[in-house]
Amino acid sequence: MFSIDKIRADFPILKREVHGKKLVYLDNGATSQTPQVVIDTIVDYYSNYNANIHRGVHTLSQEATDKYEEARIKIQKHFNAKHPYEIILTSGTTHGVNIVASGFASILKEGDEIIVSALEHHSNIVPWQMLCEKTGAILKVIPMDEDGSLRMDIYHELLNPKTKLVFCNHVSNALGTINPIKEIIHAAHKFGAYVLIDGAQAVPHIKPDVQALDADFYVASAHKMCGPTGVGMLYGKEELLKLLPPYQGGGEMIETVTFEKTTYAGLPHKFEAGTPNICGGIAFGVAVDYMNSVGFSNIEKQENELLSYATQELEKIEGLKIYGTSNKTSVISFNLEGIHPYDVGAILDKLGVAVRTGHHCAQPIMDFYCIPGTVRASFSFYNTKEEVDVLVNAVKKAQMMLS
């Protein structure tokens, strides 16, 4: 049984006040809040078994290793990867993207083509531009439509035998658009191209099945789904992870080292050089457990209700324009006519409402709409309709003060 009161009681930060007002946290697209069970896991690690992993024979090291690898298995099962070693624990989505981009630098050749969508976060644009500069590959872009959806007709026209890689986010961070990634993956595979899906904005709302999607690579961050910052995951099909060279050299990713030659460890350690974020990885596994205990069907129902209600109420405000109106998750990006989004965000903060303002690391989207940025309210399952009412009244007050 989903109880919003019980859910909210799991998040201590929701009891805080900001500028003398009860906090209304609507910046979940940037980072979600952390439940007590995850906080307790972090405290427990540093209080009781803080030690380096994999190589130690002492008790603390073995305990930490066991819990870290248990977390990997939790993440594997959550995303339905075939093997635990197909889950590479990273510092976050950006790290995962860069591992793949770096690996393909030795594989692509001049004239090869790669495709990216117009809806991408900079983290899923810049590494591919850098890859093109290194290899001579050509970057093509799937354009977007006015409603925030991708022009899939043009995507299918872009695909050809020269296409080697395709990159697309599962959900747009700036607009909330849910992209048709199954169609994107299936079409790319017909031409022998590999596909990386940026799942950072999807994983708080959707439980992706990487095998059902047939994704070649899928990346995500823990801090978007009730986990800590500084940890994430890269899923890759076993044969592709074996194909790519190591991203970094150092400890843990080696099998043998001599001054004449070094051989590399097998998966997943080949891509996990150095001491990892051990505590973060363990807490990531606990966050996955927590999200599943809430239930993604419950999460979807609650967030869809919030999205529908907030859209309805915000659209009543004269001079307010919402960007991105196609099939989407619980994100509303909007502007007030004649008012800079930063100024709106500053007023909302004084009224206790936390939103994100700016281009959201998605400048091409803002350029498409010819705007400097937007105000973005992003909802999570622990938000309420009462908080939506506070947002709407705060937007009205900001409009009155700034007009």
Place of tokens 């590959």: 137
Q: How many CB atoms lie within 10 A of CB 205?
A: 25
Count of beta carbons in the 10 Å neighbourhood of residue 160: 11
> Which run of H or of E encompasses 76?
helix 59-79
Catalytic residue chosen out of the listed positions 132, 168, 361, 370: 361
Cβ-proximal residues to 20 (8 Å cutoff; 6+ apart), any chain: 352
Q: How many CB atoms lie within 10 A of CB 40?
A: 13
Helix, strand, or coil (residue 109): coil
User: Is-catalytic flag, 226?
Assistant: no
Angle at 220 between CA 215 and CA 221, to 5 degrees: 170
DSSP state, 33?
A: -
SS3 of residue 126 by DSSP: helix
State the DSSP code for 251.
S
Q: Locate tokens 């506070």: which residue?
A: 390
Round to whole Å and give the CA distance between 329 and 368. 21
Q: Is residue 228 within 8 Å of residue 197, measured between CB atoms?
A: no
Compute the distance between CA of residue 86 and CA of residue 263 in angstroms, rounded to an integer. Answer: 20
Catalytic residue annotation? 361
